[in-house]
Structure 1
Amino acid sequence: MTFYDCCWEYSRGKSEDWLGKGLKGVREKAFLMTKVCTHGRDAALAMQMLEQSLRRLQADHLDLWQIHGVTCQNDPDLFIRSNGAAEALHKAKQEGKVRFVGFTGHKGPDIHLAMLNTGFPFDAVQMPLNPLDANFFSFEKKVPVLVERGIAPLGMKPIGGHGEPVGVFTAEELLRYAMSLPVATTISGVSEPHILEQNLKIAQAFVPMTTQEMEVIRERAKPYVGDGHFELYKTSIKFDNPEAPLAHEFPIDMQSVEVKQMVYSTGNSGRPYPDVSQ
């Protein structure tokens, strides 16, 4: 396991700090990725965030730098506009501070297509890929577009946002399904040592599913996808990181761990935060 997923705003910067300490002395063995959280703000802010990320990660360059959480219909226009974040991605790559660039998101596949249609030369695109997604506002059905264009598909949320589908499926079925898709890598969150051990065991014994096996899994998923309750990252604000709605003056989920971290810390979004006493 050499691909490390991180983000400027995770735990208000602590995640990058921790990852930088963890990779000290072995940085060259890792494929290091983090995300920039302009959420439609300008190129100058993106470059400031890049310098902060590099400092926290104790790195002189990233292997992959991605726009974080493309969520809103106007995000592609804000990204590609003059002095938008697209200019920062291009500049960072020119200066050798990043090797590859991309974007992530889990809200809607059509927003991803709109990002691609800006014409920006992305190297990678990250999206949720699992059997439930295959039946509901499906990102999986757009993967062939990436393959045709030579863009690396990165799969995330193979076991759902917090493992909610486990019970309907086993973790092994979900991971094997996601890993059997034509992706460059499958990104699975690990919160406990036993989950890491489970994922390693599945990966070490991995045999791709056949086309027929994958279709059986998709059919099993169909009864559970109608209201999107297993994919709340598509249908609610529960998984929206706080910088995105703040940038668009949208509501934020006050029960979200990341929102609580933001509210009770010194913020760096340049906006006043809501009064949580109300």
Structure 2
Amino acid sequence: MKRVGWTRGVDIWTPGAREPPRRGHGMRAFLVHHREERMDSSRRKFLHLAGMAAVTASLGTRPEAEAAEGPSAQGSAATSPEAIPMRPFGKTGVKVSAIGVGGFHIGKPEDEKVGIRIIQEALDAGINFMDNAWDYHKGRSEEIMGKALEDRRDKAFLMTKVCTHGRGKDVAMKQLEDSLRRLRTDHLDLWQIHEVVYPNDPELHFKKDGVVEALTLAKKQGKVRFVGFTGHKHPDLHLEMLKHGYPFDAVQMPLNVFDGSFRSFEQRVLPEVLRRKMAPLGMKSLSGNAEPVKKGVVTVQEALRYAMSLPVAVTISGMDSLEVLQQNLAIARGFKPMTKQEMAALRERVAPLAADGRYELFKSTMVYEGNEGREQHGFPPQGQMQG
């Protein structure tokens, strides 16, 4: 490959000459031999949108034409009464589907074809937001999603997470190359710091040569459009991250009907994210394990409708079967939010069972912490803890 130009910090290569050796060469070779023309088109569209977003931010307005380009506009049928609603992704000018596909559950079925089909049918139905993380099922979730998106990358708003858990910028950038290779793409729409759940995480992430510097570098290199962070433990940790004043584009947090009565992200973090005009991303709408549904405390429709009725850009939902996908589509198509009165009544109904956190164990225990983070913070892997 031969470099022929430089645009907004991104190398532009052309076939016919040998590319200099570099980390991530395997991904580059794959792109060169299999998807050169398509990825060149994707890169141009990405750079165009990035430029538009920068101009828009400086003017404080959003051209309506921007909503008609890129993955944010997929499914022009969004005007149909039965379409999946599209919502603004913070102040970026991009729109995303009101419901998204969770990456962890994509890697759960033994047959990867199930995950591929879920992703592709979700895209066909108008869901464009795709969640993932570098460490989900040791990379398997990213690999499955990469196969599913190989010939339809432009239809997806693709997000994955970096799992440094206190390690430095160099580890983060290596993980980014791993994710790009597995996902079979040359850029991410959103790259987020995964699992801000340990008390010293904000300090570690913002230290010199920490992961936050990697977010900035990845954006500068054109490998990432937007950046953010995630966590499910305590609102204080999210607020500590925000106090640093870094220009995150998105913040992901657990938002469900039980959250309103126990260490509430809805009451404490969501308003601050909205004030800063960042994109709020909701997760764990069914409490992470659907236990309250299994026990008859709430129905799937009540739980998911409540989460989607909050002022969020997208509610990310785990889908490990086509049946769950169809169930979610039935709720999301032509979605009409609950009224404030309906939401308040549902919160009040479940409050006696919500106040002690029994349906949000991700806040009060280490049951949901991943092994990558456990290792970096000196805790034993899942399955080896006593008691």
- Structure 1 length normalisation: TM-score? 0.90
Asked if structure 2 preserves the Cα contact closer than 8 Å seen for 1:7 and 1:16, the reply is yes
SS state at 1:246 partner: helix
Match of 1:231 in 2: 360
1:177 aligned onto 2:306:
yes
Name the aligned partner's letter for residue 185 of structure 2. Answer: A
Structure 2 CA distance, aligned partners of 1:205 and 1:73? 41
Name the aligned partner's letter for residue 220 of structure 1. Answer: R
Match of 1:45 in 2: 171
Asked if structure 2 preserves the Cα contact closer than 8 Å seen for 1:61 and 1:98, the reply is yes
- Once the two structures are TM-superposed, the CA of residue 250 in structure 1 deviates from its matched residue by 2.3
Match of 1:193 in 2: 322
Name the aligned partner's letter for residue 160 of structure 2. Answer: T
**2:156 aligned to which of 30, 34, 48:** 30
- Once the two structures are TM-superposed, the CA of residue 255 in structure 1 deviates from its matched residue by 6.6
1:122 aligned onto 2:248:
yes
**2:147 aligned to which of 14, 18, 21:** 21
- Once the two structures are TM-superposed, the CA of residue 32 in structure 1 deviates from its matched residue by 0.2
Match of 1:80 in 2: 206
Asked if structure 2 preserves the Cα contact closer than 8 Å seen for 1:71 and 1:244, the reply is no
Structure 1 CA distance, aligned partners of 2:218 and 2:135? 19
Aligned CA distance change for structure 1 residues 187 and 255 (closer, same or farther; 3 Å): farther
Aligned-residue CA RMSD (Å):
1.3
Structure 1 CA distance, aligned partners of 2:350 and 2:279? 26
Match of 2:185 in 1: 59
Structure possessing the higher relative contact order (Cα contacts under 8 Å, 6 or more residues apart): 2
Asked if structure 2 preserves the Cα contact closer than 8 Å seen for 1:146 and 1:153, the reply is yes
Structure 1 CA distance, aligned partners of 2:266 and 2:236? 12
Name the aligned partner's letter for residue 251 of structure 2. Answer: V
Structure 1 CA distance, aligned partners of 2:277 and 2:384? 39
**2:292 aligned to which of 161, 165, 174:** 165
Structure 2 CA distance, aligned partners of 1:77 and 1:212? 40
Structure 2 CA distance, aligned partners of 1:116 and 1:148? 11
Deviations 1:212-231 (A, max 9, x none): 00100110121112331211
Structure of greater Rg: 2
- Number of residue pairs the alignment of both structures matches: 257
Structure 2 CA distance, aligned partners of 1:206 and 1:174? 14
Deviations 1:130-177 (A, max 9, x none): 010111001111211011101100000111111111111110111110
- Structure 2 length normalisation: TM-score? 0.65
Aligned CA distance change for structure 1 residues 205 and 255 (closer, same or farther; 3 Å): farther
Asked if structure 2 preserves the Cα contact closer than 8 Å seen for 1:242 and 1:252, the reply is yes
1:147 aligned onto 2:274:
yes
Structure 1 CA distance, aligned partners of 2:372 and 2:235? 21
Q: Identity across aligned pairs (percent)? A: 56
Unaligned 5+ segments in structure 1 are 257-278
- Once the two structures are TM-superposed, the CA of residue 40 in structure 1 deviates from its matched residue by 1.0
1:248 aligned onto 2:377:
yes
Name whichever structure is richer in helix by fraction: 2
Structure 2 CA distance, aligned partners of 1:20 and 1:151? 27
Deviations 1:242-264 (A, max 9, x none): 111211112332179xxxxxxxx
Unaligned 5+ segments in structure 2 are 1-126
